Structure 1
Amino acid sequence: MSENLIKEKIISIDIFLFLQVFNACPNKRAQMVKNLVGHKKV
C-alpha cells in the first residue's frame, strides 16, 4: 500500500467516527448549535 492510500483511509475513518458521534448525540449537537447562535448574537 502506498502512503497516500493509508492517509486517505485514516481520513475516511476519522470522518466516519466523527459522523457516528455527531449522529449519536443529537442533544449535544443541539447544545452546540445553541452555543454558536448565542455567541453570534453577542
Structure 2
Amino acid sequence: MLSGKILGIVSSRRVKQEMAKQGISPVNLAGAMFKIVLI
C-alpha cells in the first residue's frame, strides 16, 4: 500500500514540474526509471 502511494506521488504533476526545474529531461522517461528503481 505504501509503495502504491509513493509511485502515485512520483507520477504527480508537481513532481514532474520539479524534475523539469532541475533539468531532468525527458520527464516522463525519468519518472518511469525512478519507479523501476523504487520497485
The TM-score bracket by the shorter chain reads 0.3 to 0.5
Larger radius of gyration: 1
- Bigger share in helix: 1
